[in-house]
Amino acid sequence: MTTESTEGPPKAMDWQDQPLDCATCRNADLRAAGRCKPEHACAFDRYSKRIARFFSWNPATAEQYVNHPYFEVRAIIARYVNVFELQRLAKDPDESVRLSAALRLPQAQLRKLVGDPDREVRIRVAQRLDPAELGALIWDADYFVRSIVARRLPAGLLGRMANDADAEVRGQVARRIDEQGLLAMRLDEEADVRLIVAQGLRPSLLHLLADDPDWRVRFEVARRTEDTALAARLAGDDDPMVCEAAAERSGAGTRPAVSDAMAGR
């Protein structure tokens, strides 16, 4: 996107680097009314700030520019045009125009962009689409799109993403999936995901992760377990952090267990 120079306002040029002539402009009446201004607010300038300022002053004129050859103009008017023209802009060949349209499209039209070739457009779709409609993006080619889906998808559908190829996506799933799904993820190949599993499981199930190869996972088991026998076993762990956490837990075996919420105060 073109921006104005910090050294002073550039000359009024159109998107093809040709000088602008206000005397022959079709917006002469708007200029006379103070609703456009050379080098400040102009629909035909190449600078996006000036274009945006023009349409913020004159939003009712936006539909006159749907077929403008400059993509910056089409992207900006997507903020103002009616829904019918907006649907046309959602099919624009330029991704920035489709991205701008995706900000305002009704849900029925937004669904049509789930297969857009540009990842930024699909990211916007994943952020706005009704969660119940996100199933179409579960297998999106881009990990970040899938990560957004994992944060917003209805919990009952998260199992379909538990084996995602990307560990970050699986981590998002582990933070929200139900206990049955969480148990299935305890064998995940990525330690960061297993750590999230350990943080989410209820204490009575933590023994399933007591022999995890990653010390952070075992530390979480030692820190949260209510099983004094398990804590005593982990007190002999190879990692000193695990040993210390387990020793503290086993030493508290005769006292009422303190909840995580109270311990965090």
Q: What pLDDT does 214 receive?
A: 98
Residue 8: per-residue pLDDT: 59
pLDDT computed for residue 51 by the predictor: 96
User: pLDDT value at position 7?
Assistant: 55
Rounded to whole angstroms, the Cα distance separating 224 from 246 reads 9
pLDDT, one tens digit per residue, over 205-226 is 999 999 999 999 999 999 999 9
Q: Which of 3-17, 60-74, 174-188, 246-260 has the lowest mean pLDDT?
A: 246-260
Q: Tell me what pLDDT residue 9 has.
A: 63
Residues 6+ apart with CB under 8 A from 60: none
Q: Is residue 1 predicted with pLDDT exceeding 60?
A: no
pTM comes to 0.83
At 128-145, the pLDDT tens digits run: 999 999 999 999 999 999
Q: Mean pLDDT of all residues in the chain? A: 91
Of the listed ranges 36-45, 167-176, 181-190, 218-227, the one predicted with least confidence: 36-45
Which runs of consecutive H residues, i.e. helices, occur in the chain?
28-32, 48-57, 71-77, 83-89, 95-102, 107-110, 119-128, 143-152, 167-176, 179-184, 191-200, 215-224, 228-234, 240-251, 260-263
pLDDT at 262: 30
Structure confidence at residue 101 as a pLDDT band (50, 70, 90): very high
Question: How confident is residue 21, by pLDDT bands cut at 50, 70 and 90?
Answer: confident
- Among 72, 19, 20, residue whose Cα is nearest residue 47: 72
What pLDDT was estimated at residue 95?
Answer: 97
Per residue in 165-175, pLDDT tens? 999 999 999 99
CA 48 – CA 14 distance, rounded (Å)? 11
Q: Looking at residues 110-124, what average pLDDT do you find?
A: 97
- Pick the more confident residue, 259 or 202: 202
Q: Is the pLDDT of residue 12 over 60?
A: yes
Q: Kindly state the average pLDDT of the residues 114-139.
A: 97
- Residue at token pair 């076993």: 233
Over the Cα atoms of the chain, what is R_g?
Answer: 28
